[in-house]
Amino acid sequence: MPWSRSLIIKKGTVRSCSISKFTLGAGFFGFIHHVPIWFQAVQEVGAIGSGIRSLPMLVGTIIGTAFAGQTVVALDPATTTAEWIRYQA
Protein backbone atom coordinates (compact mmCIF):
# COMPACT_ATOMS: atom_id res chain seq x y z
CA MET A 1 0.00 0.00 0.00
CA PRO A 2 2.71 2.56 -0.80
CA TRP A 3 0.25 4.62 -2.83
CA SER A 4 -1.86 5.37 0.25
CA ARG A 5 1.12 6.88 2.06
CA SER A 6 1.80 9.22 -0.84
CA LEU A 7 -1.84 10.32 -0.83
CA ILE A 8 -1.67 11.06 2.89
CA ILE A 9 1.50 13.15 2.52
CA LYS A 10 -0.10 15.19 -0.27
CA LYS A 11 -2.61 16.59 2.22
CA GLY A 12 -1.43 20.03 3.32
CA THR A 13 -2.24 19.54 7.00
CA VAL A 14 -0.39 16.24 7.26
CA ARG A 15 2.59 17.59 5.33
CA SER A 16 2.89 20.76 7.44
CA CYS A 17 2.51 18.82 10.70
CA SER A 18 5.17 16.35 9.60
CA ILE A 19 7.61 19.11 8.68
CA SER A 20 6.90 20.92 11.94
CA LYS A 21 7.40 17.78 14.04
CA PHE A 22 10.63 16.92 12.21
CA THR A 23 11.99 20.44 12.74
CA LEU A 24 11.09 20.51 16.44
CA GLY A 25 12.52 17.02 16.95
CA ALA A 26 15.78 17.93 15.24
CA GLY A 27 16.11 21.06 17.37
CA PHE A 28 15.35 19.18 20.56
CA PHE A 29 17.85 16.46 19.69
CA GLY A 30 20.53 19.12 19.19
CA PHE A 31 19.59 20.73 22.48
CA ILE A 32 19.73 17.42 24.39
CA HIS A 33 23.10 16.65 22.83
CA HIS A 34 24.84 20.02 23.25
CA VAL A 35 23.66 21.19 26.67
CA PRO A 36 25.61 18.51 28.62
CA ILE A 37 28.69 19.24 26.51
CA TRP A 38 28.27 22.94 27.27
CA PHE A 39 28.08 22.19 31.00
CA GLN A 40 31.33 20.23 30.77
CA ALA A 41 33.24 22.66 28.54
CA VAL A 42 32.08 26.07 29.76
CA GLN A 43 31.13 25.46 33.37
CA GLU A 44 33.90 22.91 33.89
CA VAL A 45 31.83 20.21 35.58
CA GLY A 46 32.36 16.50 35.14
CA ALA A 47 30.14 14.05 33.33
CA ILE A 48 28.11 13.24 36.45
CA GLY A 49 27.62 16.92 37.30
CA SER A 50 26.58 17.59 33.73
CA GLY A 51 24.02 14.79 33.91
CA ILE A 52 22.64 16.07 37.20
CA ARG A 53 22.30 19.59 35.78
CA SER A 54 20.46 18.19 32.75
CA LEU A 55 17.90 16.32 34.87
CA PRO A 56 15.41 19.21 35.35
CA MET A 57 15.14 19.65 31.59
CA LEU A 58 14.64 15.93 30.98
CA VAL A 59 12.16 15.44 33.84
CA GLY A 60 10.14 18.41 32.62
CA THR A 61 10.09 16.94 29.14
CA ILE A 62 8.90 13.57 30.43
CA ILE A 63 6.11 15.13 32.52
CA GLY A 64 5.02 17.42 29.69
CA THR A 65 4.95 14.57 27.20
CA ALA A 66 2.92 12.36 29.54
CA PHE A 67 0.42 15.18 30.18
CA ALA A 68 0.09 15.94 26.47
CA GLY A 69 -0.45 12.28 25.68
CA GLN A 70 -3.21 11.94 28.28
CA THR A 71 -4.88 15.08 26.97
CA VAL A 72 -4.85 13.82 23.40
CA VAL A 73 -6.32 10.49 24.48
CA ALA A 74 -9.03 12.16 26.56
CA LEU A 75 -10.15 14.58 23.83
CA ASP A 76 -11.67 13.62 20.49
CA PRO A 77 -13.40 15.53 17.68
CA ALA A 78 -16.78 15.17 19.44
CA THR A 79 -15.50 16.87 22.62
CA THR A 80 -17.51 19.93 23.69
CA THR A 81 -16.00 23.38 24.00
CA ALA A 82 -16.39 23.28 27.79
CA GLU A 83 -14.23 20.15 28.01
CA TRP A 84 -11.53 21.72 25.80
CA ILE A 85 -11.44 24.78 28.06
CA ARG A 86 -11.19 22.57 31.16
CA TYR A 87 -8.06 20.92 29.76
CA GLN A 88 -6.53 24.27 28.74
CA ALA A 89 -7.02 25.84 32.16
pLDDT score, position 89: 63
CB burial readout 63-85, b (16+ within 10 A) else e: eeeeeeeeeeeeeeeeeeeeeee
Domain ranges of the chain: 7-88
**Angstrom distance (rounded) from CA 35 to CA 42:** 10
N-to-C CA span, the chain = 42
40-86 per-position pLDDT tens digit: 999 999 999 999 999 999 999 899 988 888 877 777 777 788 877 77
Q: Give this prediction's pTM.
A: 0.61
CA angle 76, 84, 62 (to 5 degrees): 80
pLDDT band at 30 (very low <50, low <70, confident <90, very high): confident
